Amino acid sequence: MPNSTGEKVLARLGQHFFDEVPVQYSTYCALNSLIALTVLKKFGHQGEILPCQLGLSLPKQLYLFGFIDPPPQGQWNGHAICASDGHLIDLAVSHCKTMFNDVPKVVVAPLFPKFSAALSRVTLDSTANIALWWLPPPSGYDTSIPEEPFNVVQQFAERLYRRLSSA
């Protein structure tokens, strides 16, 4: 059963993440997920980094981010989120801003049950039928999360931990 305390920590983490992490990193899904996981562990919560595919569903178009063909030039061909206590936090949904401007900087959402074909879904505009979907990676792709600089992760995780501990 999901832990509501964990959900509250994720919500607070999402609320303050880009107060401590420069917004220039808003598309660095693996880095941001690792920072979030490090903060969660400092608060005593379990979590994991999940490779996934992010989908932006518009009325007449579906845009996919991560695990696509052809892969993006010079970037990791994947998307990553942090999952904890039955919820996900995606700190890199800004990839979608070029297709739909009203995408939030951060999304915290409940995960679907493990037997579901999707990981989660969030409606951004119910009138226009616009939503974000998190899907398992398609088969045949390397789902290894790229390594991130330890000192950068620790620096931002410590800043966030101090901020959330004092808030």
Q: What is the DSSP code string of 57-88?
A: EETTEEEEESS-SSPPTTS-S-EEEEEETTEE
d(CA 89, CA 18) in angstroms, rounded, equals 13
Report the candidate in 142, 106, 97 with the shortest Cα–Cα distance to residue 33: 106
Q: Please tell me the predicted confidence (pLDDT) of residue 6.
A: 72
Per-residue pLDDT band at 70 (split at 50, 70, 90): confident
Global confidence as pTM? 0.94
Above 50 in pLDDT, residue 1?
Answer: no
Q: Tokens in use for 91?
A: 């700190």
Tell me: pLDDT of 5 over 70.
Answer: no
Of 81, 88, 131, 79, which is closest to residue 108 (Cα–Cα)? 88
The residues, ordered by sequence, that sit 6+ positions from 21 with a Cβ below 8 Å of its Cβ are 32, 35, 156, 159, 160
Q: How far is CA 97 from the centre of its chain?
A: 15
**Span 100-136, pLDDT tens digits:** 999 999 999 999 999 999 999 999 999 999 999 999 9
CATH fold, domain 4-166, is Atu2299-like (3.10.550)
Give the HSE-up count for residue 37: Cα atoms under 13 Å, Cβ half-sphere: 18
User: For residues 123 and 56, what is the distance between their CA atoms, to the nearest angstrom?
Assistant: 10
Averaged pLDDT, 63-85: 93
| pLDDT, averaged across the chain | 94
Q: What is the rounded average pLDDT of the residues 63-72?
A: 92
pLDDT at 146 over 80: yes
* All structural domains of the chain with their residue ranges: 4-166
Q: What is the pLDDT of residue 3?
A: 52
Average pLDDT, integer, range 55-61: 96
